[in-house]
Amino acid sequence: MQDFLEFRSISKGYPGVQALSDVSFAVHKGAVHGLMGENGAGKSTLIRVLSGDQSADQGEIRIDGEVQRYRSVRDAFHAGVIVIHQELQLVPELTVAENLWLGHFPGKGGVIDRRKLIGVVSQKLAEIGIDVDPAAKVASLSIGERQMVEIAKAVMLDARVIALDEPTSSLSSRESEILFALIDRLRANGTVILYVSHRLDEIFRLCDSLTVLRDGKLAAHHPEISKVTRDQIISEMVGREIANIWGWRGRSFGAERLRVENIAGPKLKAPLSFSVRRGEIVGFFGLIGAGRSEMARLVYGADTRSQGSVSVDGTAVPADSPPKSIRAGIVLCPEDRKFDGIVQGRSIEENMTISARRHFSPFGIINPQKESELADRFIAKLRVRTPSRRQDIVNLSGGNQQKVILGRWLSEEGIKVLIVDEPTRGIDVGAKSEIYEILYGLAEQGMAIVVISSELPEVMGITDRIMVMCEGRLSADLPRSAFDERRILAAALPDIKNSRDISLTQVR
């Protein structure tokens, strides 16, 4: 078969780190090619070089035999290359239709023909199978819906090469199936798909071939995905065997630490109550839109609750004030790292110590030495891969950004309740194991931990109890002894809740 996309001896370095070293591989026309590796392996750098966002120090990219000389993302776009990043690139205050046709609106004399714009986009979205209102502002959409809009944009622009970076990380099962159908159609039309994912099920479901990177180098290239095993891929990614990714271990629980009673908000259909004991890890599972993240924001005080109370160790926590929640011992690692978690344009050091500064900044004067010592301690403790604490946090992989956010709260004094929303979204198998180990260690120290995840194997693998949410309501509360995949999914899916052959009796 014909090689359509070729990477030839690509190398790229940054101050203090060699991101890519002599990476070469090729992808056939009409193939879906998987790209895997741990966070920090070089995948994102390779994608940036492909997109024109970064220039390689050496090597070349060829498309259909022609050497590409990108000077910008626009050059790559004109060459038929579109990259859909894990951190979405849409303009929140513009509508779906405006985002999809940004830069080439229909109309004359600088006046946009909005009727035509909406009509064309509505037709295209219907053809693709994406149910999103073209007149809605992107800011009003869920993360999953925004991801589908990004994917629709690439399809509508007839790209020759599409790179998808963790495309299903924010999608529901139904949305993922729509995406898979689109990929199959693009493959049939001869489009090259570079599919970056940590989900092995998706790699085997979609990909024809696979490349694995490790430490910026080519660890393996498999022209036929059917000839490689899951264990082989994992070993190639991490350079070691991981016998049990979850690593769950039992522990004793103490007294009740967090109590949530009858809290309600705009996206919860019924008041919600639950409690978490010292040393307990409680998981919240449900489909996108079930209300899990909304629950977390209400408990943390980021959103206004219309009723109910939250208490830590028997002391009431004031509503609607994250700073007061932090002082009471409740912290939140949010679902959207880019917009709600990290402070872009700031260093790792600043991101990690921003909350704890008040403890060593008398009269508002920051002590740089203490700040640096604190950052260095948690960079080492959490094994954050970086050449320097002064590195801009946006240059880190998703897994390392997540570790920095965790470090921020670990460096804060007196934390009693940790809420983590999608803690391993877009994170590789090796980094997942490290983050799980951090959570277990905190639980063993007596912290109450709430884990929100849309990955059922993860929730079942690392938690002591699972709370299932469905359409803004709590639908099940299951201890570890009662974990059953079919039962949990039944509680999460509204369309099968009344099925006679599935028991939904709650176990408490």
Where are the domains positioned within the chain? 3-238, 254-329+417-426+447-508, 337-413
The Cα–Cα gap between 420 and 403 comes to 12
Residue 459: what pLDDT?
92
Phi, psi of 421, deg, nearest 5: -100, 115
- SS3 of 487, please? helix
Which numeric CATH code is attached to 3-238? 3.40.50.300
What's 178-244 look like in SS3? Answer: HHHHHHHHHHHCCCEEEEECCCHHHHHHHCCEEEEEECCEEEEEECCHHHCCHHHHHHHHHCCCCCC
Residue count (the chain): 508
Residue 16: what pLDDT?
67
**Residue 362 CB coordination number (10 Å):** 9
CATH among 3.40.50.12780, 3.40.50.300, 3.40.1160.10, 3.40.50.2000 for 254-329+417-426+447-508: 3.40.50.300
The Cα–Cα gap between 508 and 476 comes to 9
Contacts of 280 (CB under 8 A, 6+ apart): 253, 257, 443, 448, 449, 464, 465
Segments of 80-119 assigned E as strands:
81-84, 107-108, 111-112
Residue 495: what pLDDT?
54
Distance of CA 213 to the CA centre of its chain: 20
Residue 110: what pLDDT?
62
Residue 508: what pLDDT?
31
Query: Do 3-238 and 254-329+417-426+447-508 show the same overall fold?
Result: yes
Pairing status of strand 3-14 against strand 58-63: antiparallel
Cβ–Cβ under 8 Å, residues 164 and 192: no
Cβ–Cβ under 8 Å, residues 455 and 264: no
Tell me the residue type at 136.
A
Task: Find where tokens 């830069």 sit.
Answer: 103
Tell me the residue type at 464.
D
pLDDT tens by residue, the chain, 508 residues = 678 999 999 999 887 678 899 999 999 999 999 999 876 788 989 999 999 999 999 999 999 999 998 888 889 988 999 998 866 678 888 899 888 877 666 555 566 777 888 888 888 888 877 888 999 998 888 777 787 788 888 887 778 999 998 888 777 777 788 888 888 988 998 999 999 988 888 999 999 999 999 889 999 999 999 999 988 888 888 775 555 678 899 999 999 999 999 999 887 888 999 999 999 999 999 876 788 989 999 999 999 889 999 999 999 998 888 989 989 999 998 876 666 777 787 888 888 887 777 777 777 777 788 888 888 888 887 778 888 888 888 888 777 887 888 878 777 778 899 999 988 876 667 777 888 988 998 999 999 999 999 888 889 999 999 999 988 899 999 999 999 888 898 888 775 443 333 333 333 3
Beta bridge partners of 353: none
The Cα–Cα gap between 320 and 373 comes to 33
Tell me the two tokens of residue 470: 């469905």
The Cα–Cα gap between 426 and 433 comes to 13
- SS3 of 25, please? strand
Cβ–Cβ under 8 Å, residues 94 and 137: yes
